[in-house]
Amino acid sequence: MLRTLYQLSEAQTELQRICDRIHTDQVIEQEATVREILNAVRRSGDEALLHYTTKFDQQTLTPSTLRISGAEIDTAYQQVSSELLKAIQLACKNITAFHKQRLPKNWVTFEDDGVVLGKRYTPVARAGIYVPGGRAAYPSTVMMNAIPARVAGVERLVMVTPTPNGHINPAVLVAAQEAGVQEIYRVGGAQAIGALAYGTETVPKVDVISGPGNVYVTLAKKQVYGTVGIDSLAGPSEVLIIADHTANPTHIAADLLAQAEHDPLAAAILLTTDSTLAEKVVAEVDRQLAGHPRQIPTEKAIAHYGIAVVVESLEVAAQLSNQFAPEHLELEVDDPWSLIEKITQAGAIFLGHDTPEAIGDYLAGPNHTLPTSGAARYASPLSTETFMKHSSLIQYSKSALGNVASAIDALTSAEGLPSHGDSVRLRVEE
């Protein structure tokens, strides 16, 4: 059952507990396991990759069968319905259009004294995309990670996904093809992250790794950061809904369950000014949970990380939301555009009664790879910039260099770096 809280202090304590739910003593042991796996892959390449795939996924592969063949992709197209194919293509179209708007532009400024300054963006050469394959199939994850990379101009897109039963959902393969992925390997877990980070005889080394996974995948991404870039350290999914008396309790219950069904660690939070609405939502959650196809994990999420909080005002709700910094924030209120002015920390914001979080998950266009576990305090959604880096451009004329020579001399003297000063002085004295 969804618990209802009425005391502000209790709500603050619970929100902090939920935010910290992934920080357990078990992580230390998991980190050691991940380190062992990564070191093995770095040392032994394919041999270690195949060993751990057999051990964890009960999948016996050879180097020649690691990569998904073109014939398998062709077969996948035959297995998906025309309706699903059209939905994937629509999602690709919308996601592409949105991320083209996010593409950063090079710029240069020319100063009157002969100084030229600018910034130049270039894509990474290779990007690796991790797509989970355990509890469910995620074609949306494929599109949300591959398309920004493709729009950024990445030349080589490499995807890895686990196949514990030897099967990849055809929708995932079709989504990968439509999104522009060139290579797909049937491996997952920390060993797949190691393969992408270090390269093996079969799997190429990449420059950036993106995509969510379980705790072992997340810890692996954390440990290889520095060898490669990563998008973020994704935790369990979460939604926070701010609602007033105008909200529909049936819709809110469905939105809470839409997050809870992801994972037993998923968080589903309601902040409302209307106690009657809170009561109706609690009852509606119970009703919709009865006979739910994913009832057990969904009930666990609701029981452990689901709460309804009755607050005295929308301003207080906004303050609590900012403290939690949710991955997904729904503003189910009469005037969401007024309330948004008070929101400073959220991954994605869904405004109004007809904008469920699911629209963002699948095909609205903005990325669904978002900061979790409070990371929205300092992090942003995945974008084209994730797969790009920029270089500063600097050019000085001799006269411009002479204008600042004395200032540079003073600074280099203060730091005790005489050759720095000489590199300027020798030029202006010629």
Please state, in angstroms and rounded to a whole number, the distance separating the CA atoms of residues 82 and 71.
19
pLDDT, tens digit (0-9, with 9 covering 90-100), for 194-221:
999 999 999 999 999 999 998 899 999 9
Mark whether 253 and 360 lie in a shared domain. Answer: yes
Q: 373-378: which pairs have CB atoms within 8 A and are 24 or more residues apart? A: 373/19, 373/20, 373/21, 373/22, 373/235, 373/236, 373/238, 374/19, 374/324, 374/325, 375/232, 375/233, 375/235, 375/325, 376/325, 376/326, 376/327, 376/345, 376/346, 376/347, 377/325, 377/345
Q: Is 328 a catalytic residue?
A: yes
Do 170 and 290 share a domain, yes or no? no
Compute the distance between CA of residue 257 and CA of residue 253 in angstroms, rounded to an integer: 6
Tell me if 268 is assigned to some domain: yes
Same domain, 186 and 267: no
**Inside any domain, residue 327:** yes
Q: pLDDT at residue 32 above 70?
A: yes
Structural domain boundaries, residue 70: 26-74+122-230
What pLDDT score does 113 carry?
87
Indicate whether 314 and 359 sit together in one domain: yes
Tell me: do 241 and 176 sit in the same domain: no
Q: Is residue 334 within 8 Å of residue 109, measured between CB atoms? A: no
What are the strands, taking DSSP E only, across 255-408?
A: 267-272, 306-310, 328-332, 348-351, 388-396
Residue 312 annotated among the catalytic residues of the structure:
no
**77: part of which helix (H) or strand (E)?**
helix 70-79
Would you say residue 259 lies in a domain? yes
Which candidate, 189, 161, 164, places its Cα nearest to that of 173? Answer: 161
Instruction: Determine the average pLDDT of the residues in 31-59.
Output: 95
Q: Which of the following is catalytic: 261, 328, 330, 332? A: 328
188 plus 291 within the same structural domain: no
Give 76-130 pLDDT, tens digit per residue.
999 999 999 999 999 999 999 999 998 999 999 999 889 999 999 999 999 999 9
Cβ atoms of 149 and 102 within 8 Å: the answer is: no
Residue 215 resides in a domain: yes
The verdict on 281 and 340 lying in the same domain is yes
| Mean pLDDT, the chain, whole residue set | 95
End-of-domain residue from the set 215, 230, 245: 230
Mean pLDDT across 246-266: 96
pLDDT-based confidence at residue 58 (cuts at 50, 70, 90): confident
Q: How many domains does the chain have?
A: 3
Cα–Cα distance for residue pair 239/269, rounded to 1 Å: 6
Q: Which of 14, 183, 238, 327 is catalytic?
A: 327
How far is CA 1 from its chain centroid? 29
**Inside any domain, residue 388:** no
| Res. 134: pLDDT tops 70 | no
How far is Cα 80 from Cα 332, in angstroms, rounded to an integer?
35
Q: What is the CA radius of gyration of the chain?
A: 25
| Helices 275-289 & 295-305 angle (0-180, nearest 10) | 150
Angle at which helices 295-305 and 249-260 cross, to 10°: 100
Model confidence over 278-328: pLDDT tens digits? Answer: 999 999 999 999 999 999 999 999 999 999 999 999 999 999 999 999 999
